Structure 1
């Protein structure tokens, strides 16, 4: 069966060989002659038996993919201030884009049942409709979100703003590949090189954003340029469709036998595990290091790169080598998660090591996908992409929405590493393994029943698993890796649970409360600690008579204590609640208000620590839930003598709280002789530079201190103090507060621009 285009689209045969004259003074040719000029040019381009088609389609798919994956970090950067800098905002946005990709592939699959010409017209209309929603802006559309936005709010916001254009872009790959497959080109029999071109475009878009686009352009300019590139893509798509039309007849493919259900489930599973691992690695980077596009795009870039390598005609690494190396890599990755102390190794090194392991595991899964790909028929081609997108979306949804609800800690990452061994072709499940599972289950049940049994359970399981892990490393068997790593994970989780007072997880992070003994001159004493990830966010002494002692970064002989002593503030706003240690500075003359975005932190501070209830001699501090910057902006009737910025997201500070516009908001809420105090302690970024650069441009007086405490209850900290009046900060004379010279090349941050890469130190 063939499809014929109407005569007015095919072009009339009248005047096809007429020459178009361009003599001076001659009237312009009629529109049909213009069409003939274009058609003659097209015929010249088609010299060489239409071999220009692969290049045209490859460039179009490359541009489409580059747009898809450059907009993702741009949207994530726009989203951070809206969700209070929560790292999970990026995870939810990645899950959204995976769902949108699935929707686009699903639409393309449904449209594959209609004629190629009709699918092309509908697809082009969808891409054009997407331009109505551009340029992209999130802040103006976020008015419906409450004070404490959740993942559902983020999903709705992204659907309203970028959903239509992104879903249209996501249909580009499968749609154009289907059209190319029936175009009659010699390369139509194997259009998977277009899939490689699409993934290379994705990888290029991801790299260009953190390396060139983000450092050089403001967000509004980025959005404008993205709109321009999107319109260019529409032109390229039209050229692709026009070229197919000029080739002549478009053929429909024959229908093969439907793909078996087992094969479909295998495609979904092989796509699910790498997607979940990618989200787990991203969660570690954005929580334990910092939420910034440079680190966001590395796991996603590696994820796409494994697709490029796996689907390439040139084999860079054999499947047999991947099958042998994967269980060893998984075993080496599981051990440091639970055994090595977080302080013993740089987080960048840990991230780099896990990135290598993730790449190897994802490459094995994607190579298995490439080996089982269908022939390039109409239905199977789009079905294959649809199921790949379904598996990827399920992995993203699991990590972004399901895991935070059903798991108290981030155990989904080691669980997926172990699950990848089950996908290893060399894995074989034996009947004897059932007995082992029953024994482990009995120990686990006993541990749940008797908490004191946890440690005993961990020791036994740990010793048994050590032998299995050794076998895994020596033999490289996936079965040994599954059993050994599973036992190690279970033993470690049991041991951790036995020591924990509280574990909780939500959109804003993973919190853990536990007790720990510390050695003092007077003997060993117990303290209670709150951690977010691997970063301590507060501690309280449990010894009688010391429950009200200010600890950690907030000791009374430290920088914060000196500011309170010198300023004697009547009203204080503390951005970030932690365990409520700052409440120790409350007096009948000093009222403290906490601003906290994470409801879980408030529950922990009130139920597992006593600073809010027992500290201070004044009234109980007020706790306001919501983004601190927005909350302060709404408090037009209040003036504070002291505003403390202590809003940590694990070990990083939300960048939207350090911009010039944010500082302006703080100054608007500050009394004439007040101080804004920034706690900027960070292991990876020198946050003093952009803050001090902003203070200079705003003609604010500023001081910096790097404080090394003598007290065992205190921690090393860095602070910056700012004030309008020049006679306020000189009152801080007991500790070594000093002015800090800022290089002329340092740029202050704005809501439209920040650059964490420039202030990074490893």
Structure 2
């Protein structure tokens, strides 16, 4: 092999058309490997998250913790790439990298081992991180190194080429993976099949990457690594200063923090459905594609005005009371806001990108900044804050960064003073709205607590009848309400009132089990179901969030005032019930209430064929399972109907009727083989058949899709 000094490209042993064809084949090899690696890099995230979410209660915190893990491993991959390209000879580096690929192949498939099932007594964040590390850590590490590493090798092979377009290509592939998963992959393949196919694709990636390593090794025999040499005379590019590194870190951290803060806000306060986890991340990746594609899509002058207005709009939006109209307005507002904010951060990063010889340092700073932003929101915020304050703080920080970046432009152009005034006003409004949000969520609270699972607060105010009441909020959703006057404190309220579907089940069993009932409740909330307890009854609550137990005992009286015997089991209900069966204990519930909300949606793993099989084994003969399916965004009743039919049971939907002021509109699906209950006059009067939903399929642990039940 020889080096073409004029073109600076690798020459092959052949000449003329054959050498040119060989050069194109090498380029195609690099492009294909980078695209496939980035596609797999982001496809693995929903695949593994969907496998482990049932183990941790279906909380959106599992998704954000997984994002934090992937950002940390991405950082480790970029550190490895930077150090290896600086200190290892090309042949040694190629051998080391191929060795890592072989080790990663030995860890397939990416299916979590049963030994990593969670322990309710340990930190869920630590358990999620350990599980991910042992299951996908090494394959993900290899994938995370690909984009910067192959770009560095590509620079050696083809100096002078638009190498940053490969970075845009990798982000485009990542975006394609995120969009393909809910619409093309999830509907047609079970989770085990997804993991197996992903493993097969990883084998192909390993082969392509080995080919790239071989090409790089052979090129390294002829030319030293270019990125860390001083530029030749007249060649563009200078060594980055310390201030450049600081700006790269800051802008990258702000983009990551804004992504996760908006994701938290969307899924906890506006539309708590997992589909919205992908929307901000997709927009985040799209901004990388547009900013680094090479055609200068970012224009500061075009982004500034929308950024100023959207910051003010999002700051105003965090203080608007939650309702359905807000959903229609807020989802587009925060989606567009996420896009414009990230376009601003990543556009400014693109404006400051260094010469290709420094690209591994640049990518290392981008990855480190992303990890810092992710850690602040995913780990720092639940530890430091008792509510979701990260979005107001992120908006304020963005306003400050915007003013800092625009300061020279605004001071150098006197004609731009209206823009300066708007920017200052937007910054002031953002700070003011953040202060209002803090006051609204802090003043008058009986208590506020936040952990991995939720941010909960208890508020006390008048009930309109001269008395007072306490309300439990989980994010923006009411999870319990109790009137405090002794005469009415044991009145079941909200979704469990005397006109609800669960009331029909409790009233019927009270008449047929005069000696006492056994009642299971999945989801504690404020403990409202205990209001239905009578002397001789035995209530067993399953609750994954230990804070909920503390709140129910400390701030509400439903548990303490109930004449029934009560026991609270901390841990995921399905796992706890399965362990009870394995230990030879079947509880013989006359009524089992499934009401484990995560925001406004029931965790999917509690609505599968396998879950219903566990519930049935815990039922007494003629027992009733009451599923709470009230939801603004998901039509869950057909899902329960299909499960009941598959299990040989009957299902009836009951909506609340003639609501009392303290009751909320609710929808329940009661599942049973108790014909006496189904023929009971109250059931016949209040119940209605469940209409099948077109396209709905039977949910199993291996295959389920929320997209098919979105309203």
Provide the TM-score with structure 1 as the length reference.
Answer: 0.84
* Structure 2 portions without partners, runs of 5+: 4-9, 231-237, 409-415
RMSD (CA atoms): 2.6
Counterpart in the other structure of 1:116: 90
Counterpart of 1:526 (choices 468, 472, 477) is: 468
- Work out the CA distance in 1 between the residues paired with 2:353 and 2:406: 23
Report deviation, 1:699: 1.1
Partner of 1:740: 690
Which deviations, in whole Å up to 9, do the C-alpha atoms of 1:147-179 show, x marking residues without a partner? 665111101110111011101110011111111
Q: Tell me the residue number matched to 1:666.
A: 615
**Counterparts in 2 of 1:587 and 1:177: CA distance versus 1, 3 Å:** same
Match of residue 356, structure 1, among 336, 343, 354: 336
Who is 2:323 aligned against?
Answer: 343
Q: 1:165 to 1:226 in 2, by over 3 A?
A: same
Relative to structure 1, the CA distance from residue 159 to residue 186 in structure 2 (aligned partners, 3 Å threshold; closer, same or farther) is closer
2:365 aligned to which of 376, 387, 409: 387
Question: Contact 2:56–2:118 at 8 Å: present in 1 too?
Answer: no
Instruction: Tell me the residue number matched to 2:193.
Output: 221
| 1:55 counterpart residue number | 28
**d(CA) in 2 for partners of 1:386 and 1:492?**
36
Considering only CA atoms, is the larger Rg found in Structure 1 or Structure 2?
1
Q: Are the equivalent residues in 1 in contact too, given 2:39–2:174 (CA < 8 A)?
A: yes
Aligned to 2:7: none
1:572 is matched with which residue? 519
Between the aligned partners of 1:501 and 1:49, the Cα distance in structure 2 is: 72
Q: Cα gap change, 1:743/1:334 in structure 2, threshold over 3 Å: closer, same or farther?
A: closer
Q: In 2, distance between residues paired with 1:473 and 1:160?
A: 55
Which range is displaced more, 345-354 or 602-611? Answer: 345-354
Paired position in structure 2 for 1:237: 209
- 1:145 deviates by 3.4
Q: Which moved more, 1:93-102 or 1:40-49?
A: 40-49
1:250-329 matches, cutoff 5 A:
250-253=223-226, 254-256=228-230, 259-288=240-269, 294-329=275-310
Contact 2:508/2:677 (CA < 8 Å) preserved in 1?
A: no
Is 1:514 aligned with 2:459?
yes
8 A Cα contact 2:520 2:540, kept in partner: yes
Change (3 A) 1:151 1:625: same
Per-residue CA distance 1:490-529 (angstroms, 9 max, x = gap):
133124321222111100011111123344xxx4543210
2:156 and 2:533 map into 1 onto residues whose CA distance is: 75
Deviations 1:590-620, CA, capped at 9 Å, x for gaps? 1111110001111111111111111x3233x
Query: 2:40 touches 2:202 (CA, 8 Å); kept in 1?
Result: yes
Contact 1:120 1:175 in 2 (8 A): no
Asked whether the equivalents of residues 148 and 598 of structure 1 are also in contact (C-alpha less than 8 Å), the reply is: no
Distance 1:289-1:139 versus aligned 2 partners, 3 A rule = farther
Using the alignment, how far apart are the partners of 1:103 and 1:679 within structure 2? 44
List gaps (5 residues or longer) in structure 1: 4-9, 11-38, 431-470
Query: Do structure 1's residue 490 and structure 2's residue 468 form an aligned pair?
Result: no
Q: Secondary structure at the match of 1:342?
A: coil
Deviation at 1:479, TM superposition (A): 3.1
Select 1:751's aligned residue among 701, 704, 711.
701
1:84 and 2:57 aligned: yes
Sort the Cα spacing of 1:245 and 1:497 in 2 relative to 1 into closer, same or farther, 3 A: closer
Match of 1:618 among 529, 551, 564: 564
C-alpha change, 1:512 and 1:198, in structure 2 (3 Å) is same
Any conservation in 2 of the 1:702–1:720 contact (CA below 8 Å)? yes
**Cα pair distance change 1:401/1:246, threshold 3 Å:** closer
Correspondence for 2:179: 207
Matching residue within 462, 475, 479 for 2:424: 479
Residue 745 of structure 1, CA deviation:
4.4
Structure 2 CA distance, aligned partners of 1:484 and 1:233? Answer: 49
Q: Label 1:547 to 1:200 Cα distance change in 2 as closer, same or farther (>3 A).
A: same
Report the alpha carbon displacement of residue 553 of structure 1 after superposing the two structures with TM: 1.2
Residues 178-197 of structure 1: pairs in structure 2 closer than 5 A: 178-183=152-157, 185=158, 187-188=160-161, 190-197=162-169
Cα distance per residue 1:78-117 (max 9 Å; x no partner): 1210101111011100000000100100111110122233
Give 3-state SS (helix, strand or coil) of 2:539's partner. strand
SS at match of 1:536: strand
Alpha carbons of 1:64 and 1:526: their partners in 2 closer, same or farther (altered >3 Å)? Answer: same
**SS, match of residue 595 in structure 1:** strand
1:161 equivalenced with 2:135 (yes/no)? yes
CA contact (8 A) 2:248 2:369 kept: yes
Deviation at 1:567, TM superposition (A): 1.3
Name 2:235's counterpart in structure 1. Answer: none
- Alpha-carbon distance between aligned partners in 2 of 1:743 and 1:426, rounded to the nearest angstrom: 53
Partner of 1:713: 662
Instruction: State whether residues 479 and 526 of structure 2, in contact with CA within 8 Å, keep that contact through their aligned partners in structure 1.
Output: yes
1:752 to partner: Cα distance: 0.7
Separation in 2 of the partners of 1:132 and 1:290?
40
State how far apart, in whole Å, the 2-side matches of 1:741 and 1:50 are. Answer: 61
Q: What is the number of residues matched between the two proteins?
A: 676
Alpha-carbon shift at residue 255 of structure 1 (Å): 2.6
Whether 1:548 aligns to 2:490 is yes
1:370 positional shift: 0.8
Deviations 1:323-359 (A, max 9, x none): 3332221011101111x22126242531221010111
Give yes or no for the alignment of 1:151 onto 2:125: yes
Select the residue among 381, 384, 389 that pairs with 1:411. Answer: 389
Asked if the contact 1:210–1:293 (Cα under 8 Å) also holds between the matched residues in 2, the reply is no
Aligned residue for 1:595?
542
Alignment deviations for residues 227-267 of structure 1 (CA, whole Å, 9 cap, x no partner): 11101111211232344456672332253475322211111
Pick which of 253-262 and 322-331 moved more.
Answer: 253-262
- Taking the aligned partners of 1:732 and 1:75, their CA distance within structure 2 comes to 47
Residues 562 and 732, structure 1, Cα contact 8 Å, conserved in 2: no
Question: Is the 1:127–1:169 contact (alpha carbons within 8 Å) kept by the matching residues of 2?
Answer: no
Q: TM-score, normalised by structure 2?
A: 0.90
SS of the residue 2:640 aligns to: helix
Structure 1 pair 623–702 and aligned structure 2 pair: CA distance change class (3 A):
same
Structure 1 residue aligned with 2:577: 632
Checking the alignment, whether the CA contact within 8 Å between 1:287 and 1:650 is kept in structure 2 is yes
Partner SS, residue 54 of structure 2 = coil
1:95 paired to 2:71: no
- Say whether 1:503 aligns with 2:448: yes
Report deviation, 1:143: 3.5
> Does structure 1 conserve the Cα–Cα contact (< 8 Å) formed by 2:116 and 2:131?
yes
